[in-house]
Amino acid sequence: MTEGTDTEIRRLDPATVERIAAGEVVERPASVVKELVENALDADADRVTVAVEQGGIEGIRVTDDGIGMSRAEVERAVEEHTTSKIRSIDDLEAGVGTLGFRGEALHAIGAVSRLTIISRPRGGDRGAELAVEGGTVTSVESAGCPTGTTVDVADLFYNVPARRKYLKQESTEFAHVNTVVANYALANPDVAISLSHDGRETFATTGQGDRRATVMSVYGREVAQSMLAIDDERMPEGPLDGITGLISHPETNRASRDYLSTFVNGRYVTASAVREAIVDAYGTQLAGDRYPFAVVDLAVDPGTVDVNVHPRKLDVRFADAERVREQIESAIEETLLAEGMLRSSAPRGRSAAEEATISPGDNADERAVSDTDADNASPERSATDGSTTSSPGTSADSPAPTEPDDSNSRIETGDRNRTTSTQSSSDRRKFTPAHDQQRLGDGDADEQRFDSLPSMRVLGQFRETYVVAETNEGLVLIDQHAADERVNYERLREAFDGETTTQALAEPVKLELTARESALFDTHDEALARLGFRVDRVDERTVSVRSIPALIAETDGPEIVRDVLVSFADGDTAATATVDAAVDGLLADLACHPSITGNISLTEGSIVGLLDRLDDCENPYACPHGRPVIVEFDDGEIESRFERDYPGHDG
């Protein structure tokens, strides 16, 4: 908000209130922080300081050096539907130029906390201090204070215990706070923004207008050096006036979308159309489960985008979303092309079609990665002293050489279509195919009988991604990737139960963490040890990895520590449940890597073996991420689709 702008806080008329998306703006500490930081930025602040206690559950303080408020304005600000951002419906329809506009935030926060506001306007001699408790103003008095505003929020949801109990653990709540503050810091490189947790600074930006320097403060030097400035000069015509920001080299990525920072006219949003366009622009340069770092700000006529879609204002609606997607994708593609990172014409996550063949009698041991191959692995992923075993909660300080007895403890990377047991598959099979490695469509297959899955006769593949089969009840489609993923997941889960086997690295590997990852490490370093990671902190943003779980040594390196840390942020309130959830999520992700993908041509023997292994799973009907493995179309549904129930068509 610039000097000279009308900053009077006024009550909105009933017609305007009705047009504003109603709903609760206070869901968790992060939503409080978001509203207060937006207010600070709207108040033309050059410096914003955010400090939280216990993840923001016990305390939040946001201080700015903005235009401030008089005593009368402070009293009006905590009333419902009062704001200086808009006057009427006309302002709303013309396009909102400020981050906040509903006039609900301070009123809603004061209703569920103990709220204190201290503010002094620019040019004013004295400030004012106002206290609100559970929605009731308890005191208002003059105060000596610097220009600007400080908002203190204590005991969030103290008077609404039913809502307080739904908050996650402290580290999870702080991770959400960190995401909000980091995003507004990235969107406003000309504002000095800092965040601290329990008295310890998480990050601080300089406010000198250098976005790359801001990225370094939030994400670290390694990420900052990998960022490319977006080139929007050759993007097609459309609703966007311009695109500014930075995107990472494809090799600098994470397993989470949380590092996709997207803004519309400086407003932090999580609009799926914007995020998907960014990721799609990378094409096959990224694996299907990896995401780049991005700081992308879209300049658009406020009248062509609706920010009044949801109370949290995280989603927006474009008048022409498809053209917006085209412009974003084009600008990022041009940026990557200029750096020599050519994009394949294949869709993201797909590979060229190929035929995968398995002999039904192949033994799992013959398909495991050989010891020679393992010895030739990169230094970061190979061990000096072999594998060591430690009980959960401990880590081995002096690795003793051991040789795994069970091929189950390995992840076979050389063949996507391997069996998953120490027994030969011929010993486990419930049936034998009628012919050897017949290509689908070259002959008739016998009906296969299963214990868990329905008996079926394989008919073929659809788009080299889904197995098509006939059952007594109708037809089924089987997602071959989801099926193999389920098989791999249950094998890995069985191998991980009990003792945790670790593998020491030849040399410790140093990893630079983002501010968010570093904060999570402080809370979950012991949980990492229980999983089989030995990690030491080197400095505020660097850790040294000395060992990783042996189970993942052949498919993932020390860098997976970053992904595991972020997975803790999605855990439950209990520490044990958090570790268990992290283990489960880790195994689900690992199961994905070696699984059969889409666009792979399978022989009948491959399919029969896959279905046989799937039938032995505890849950053959869903992949470890929850997607369905099998979709059934019974006779009734098929007949209904063909309208065979029409009179005269009973037979």
- pLDDT of 437-463, one tens digit each? 344 444 455 677 777 888 889 998 998
Query: Does position 48 have pLDDT exceeding 70, yes or no?
Result: yes
pLDDT for residue 319: 79
> What's this model's pTM, rounded to 2 decimal places?
0.68
Summarize pLDDT for 377-398 with one digit per residue, the tens. 333 333 334 444 443 333 333 3
Quick one: tokens of 403? 């040789």
Please enumerate in sequence order all residues whose Cβ is within 8 A of that of 39, keeping only pairs 6 or more positions apart, or say none: 64, 99, 100, 105, 106, 149, 151
Strands 291-292 and 253-254: antiparallel
Examine the pLDDT at 570 and tell me if it is beyond 60.
yes
Q: Given this model, what pLDDT does residue 554 score?
A: 74
pLDDT digit string (tens) for 10-44?
A: 454 554 343 333 335 688 999 999 999 999 998 89
Higher pLDDT: 88 or 151? It is 151
Could you give all domains of the chain from N- to C-terminal order, each with its CATH number?
A: 10-206 (3.30.565.10), 221-338 (3.30.230.10), 355-493+599-635 (3.30.1540.20), 507-592 (3.30.1370.100)
pLDDT (average), residues 621-625? 90
User: What pLDDT score does 261 carry?
Assistant: 93
CB 374 within 8 A of CB 412: no
Query: Considering Cα of 134, then 139, then 145, then 148, what sign does the dihedral take?
Result: positive
CA-based torsion, 602, 607, 609, 610: positive or negative: positive
CA distance 502 to 558: 12
415 confidence band (pLDDT: 50, 70, 90): very low
Measuring CA to CA, how many Å separate 167 from each of 33, 58, 345, 574, 583?
15, 12, 45, 12, 22
Cα separation, 218 vs 210, whole angstroms: 13
CA distance 377 to 342: 28
DSSP 305: E
Mean pLDDT of the chain: 77
Q: Could you read off the pLDDT of 472-505 as tens digits, one per residue? A: 899 999 999 999 999 988 888 887 776 678 899 9
Give dist(CA 441, CA 420) in Å, integer: 27
Alpha helix ranges (H) inside 234-358: 272-281, 321-338
504 touches 384 (CB < 8 A): yes
pLDDT at 589: 76
pLDDT tens for residues 325-363? 999 999 999 999 988 765 444 334 333 334 333 333 333
For the ranges 266-270, 540-544, 637-641, the maximum mean pLDDT occurs at 540-544
Q: What pLDDT score does 377 carry?
A: 38
